[in-house]
A and B are shown apart, each in its own frame.
Chain A
Amino acid sequence: MRAFEFHPAHQISDAIRSLDEANGNARICAGGTDLLSRLKDDVDNPERLVCIRTLPDLRYIRNDKDGVRIGALTTLSTIEEDAYVQKQLPLLHQALQVTAAPQIRNQATMGGSICQRPRCWYLRGPFDCLRKGGKECFAVYGENKYHAILGGHLCYIVHPSDSATALVALNASVKIHGSKGEKTVPIEKFFVGPEVNILKENILEDDEIITEVFIPHPAPGCRGAFNKSRERQSYDFALASAAVQCRMSRGVCEDVRVVLGGVAPIPWRSREAEAVVRGKKLSAATIREASEAALRNAKPLTQNDYKVDLTKLLLTKSFQQVSI
């Protein structure tokens, strides 16, 4: 790892000032699990690290009348063990249980988890690829087994975060603090595909930090399921995953959000699948139709057409689980 200037922040305003004055040459250090691997691989070389784990009051899970608020520094294992999350947000709980290894979940934070950089080996290796400001995506003609089948545009990374997939399905929002003040953004607007910004996966600016994730209380009758496929069973990033959050009334699906992970540069909301099941009973035929609809526009690369059938299967499984 190369040397850097280390700035522990004790107030949110310190952190923002420190990020701002570094003019893009600083990175935020919270749990550090993703950051340190990038620094070791020498694919990121910031002059300054702004350590925010010293910020007080960003470790909490609070329930209020609108929903549950998770402080950005709360670790994934704390969220996984939370009684409310286990009972009311099974989708998030299931996603966290299959996220990384237990030791990493003890370190990784809520904010950092959704800001992880993609695991694309060209991005993480010595390749001057589009996402690093180069001229080419090497995955198109190279090794693309783990790359995107949906939403790829010049660059074919997949978003690595399981919690991001779950949070989009739960209609969460993200609170961001920056030099210009504070704002809350629906999480779907937080992530951006390569057609919007080829260099970044989200809208977070250089002088901004996430301070809170908010998840609205699910309406009565809501059910959720998250299924993920991994190459290694003990722990791994998703080959594909499927999250379904569904409000059922007398066997009919009144409202639904369907989000796919591991297949697109952002957590991929499938409005096509949602349109198929909304207002219908979740029969085997409807589920099949919805799964087909979700993958209809998939454009596999040379080595990843397996992801199409795999994703359909995972989505079918999630639909079956919420229909029971």
Chain B
Amino acid sequence: MAKKLKRKTQKVHIAFTLNGEPCEVAFAPHKTLLEVLREDLNLTGTKHGCELGECGTCAVLVDRKPVLSCLVLGLTVEGREVTTVEGMQLADGSLHPLQTAFADLGAAQCGYCTPGFLLTAKELLEKNSKPTRDDIKEALSGNLCRCTGYIKIYEAVELAAARMRGEAAEVPEEVVLGLK
């Protein structure tokens, strides 16, 4: 039975948990989660990249799992829990150990890919406190970085993991200054 359909452009209204706090937002129904976060909630830490699911820079956590916000309709996060890079800080307001380690090791250069890497790595460390280099590579395989060559990113995740386990981890001098 055919029925005349009507394309809706008026705004829709949803409620969800954003970075640990209740959030309500109204937006056009065909917007992606990425667009809702950036344009309607002014959280511009999440970056626009390829829009195709190939680069990982728009990764956010939905129900604690990393997903690509450019491939999620905003409407589908109703009632769910979303974490962006703005919500990574610890309860006392200090940086997450991953953020500190990225800064210490220069794992961010232009910084455009960094939020996606941080959130994806955060979930990895929550389920695996002592990941091997291969575990890290696999977990981050959906994130592209065109500056660092990845090595510093892997090292930063290892450093953050060690610090989170309470181990005294030193930053090797050559990592920061290069080989003498």
B7–A77 contact, CB under 8 A?
Answer: no
When A and B form their complex, which 5 residue pairs have the shortest distance between CB atoms, in order from nearest?
A: A101-B142, A234-B141, A23-B2, A47-B5, A3-B7
Report chain B residues within 8 Å CB of A234: 141-142
Report chain A residues within 8 Å CB of B141: 101-102, 234-235
A107–B7 contact, CB under 8 A?
Answer: no
Residue of A47, A49, A53, A234 with highest tally of chain B CB at under 10 A: A234
A256 sits at the interface (CB 8 A): no
Report chain A residues within 8 Å CB of B70: 36
Q: In whole Å, how far is A18's beta carbon from the nearest beta carbon of chain B?
A: 10
Q: How far is the CA of A5 from the CA of B73 in the complex (A)?
A: 13
A33–B75 contact, CB under 8 A?
Answer: no
- State which of A6, A22, A33 has its C-beta within 8 Å of the C-beta of B29: A6
Report chain A residues within 8 Å CB of B138: 102
A88 sits at the interface (CB 8 A): no
Return 21 A-B CB contacts under 8 Å, by A number.
A3-B8, A4-B30, A6-B8, A6-B75, A29-B76, A32-B71, A36-B73, A47-B5, A51-B76, A53-B76, A101-B53, A101-B143, A102-B66, A102-B141, A103-B56, A103-B66, A104-B53, A104-B68, A104-B71, A106-B66, A235-B142
Report chain B residues within 8 Å CB of A48: 5
- State which of B2, B31, B56, B68 has its C-beta within 8 Å of the C-beta of A107: B68
Report chain A residues within 8 Å CB of B26: none
Indicate whether A103 sits within 8 Å of B120 (C-beta atoms), given known contacts A20-B1, A37-B53, A53-B76.
Answer: yes
Q: How far is the CA of A20 from the CA of B8 in the complex (A)?
A: 19
The residues in A between 29 and 44 inclusive whose CB is less than 8 angstroms from any CB of B are: 29, 32-33, 36-37, 39-40
Q: How far is the CA of A106 from the CA of B120 in the complex (A)?
A: 11
Q: In whole Å, how far is A88's beta carbon from the nearest beta carbon of chain B?
A: 22
A1 sits at the interface (CB 8 A): yes
Report chain A residues within 8 Å CB of B9: 3
B95 sits at the interface (CB 8 A): no
B160 sits at the interface (CB 8 A): no
Q: How far is the CA of A263 from the CA of B125 in the complex (A)?
A: 38
User: Closest residue to A49 on the B side, CB-wise?
Assistant: B73
A25 sits at the interface (CB 8 A): yes
- State which of B51, B71, B142 has its C-beta within 8 Å of the C-beta of A102: B142
B164 sits at the interface (CB 8 A): no
- State which of B7, B12, B51, B53 has its C-beta within 8 Å of the C-beta of A47: B7
User: Closest residue to B75 on the A side, CB-wise?
Assistant: A6
Report chain B residues within 8 Å CB of A51: 73, 75-76
Report chain B residues within 8 Å CB of A101: 53, 56, 141-143
A21 sits at the interface (CB 8 A): yes
The residues in B between 20 and 41 inclusive whose CB is less than 8 angstroms from any CB of A are: 28-32
Q: In whole Å, how far is B143's beta carbon from the nearest beta carbon of chain A?
A: 8
Residue of A6, A51, A101, A106 with highest tally of chain B CB at under 10 A: A101
B180 sits at the interface (CB 8 A): no
Report chain B residues within 8 Å CB of A106: 65-67
Indicate whether A21 sits within 8 Å of B3 (C-beta atoms), given known contacts A32-B76, A101-B56, A103-B66.
Answer: yes
Q: How far is the CA of A6 from the CA of B68 in the complex (A)?
A: 20
B156 sits at the interface (CB 8 A): no
Q: How far is the CA of A294 from the CA of B61 in the complex (A)?
A: 43
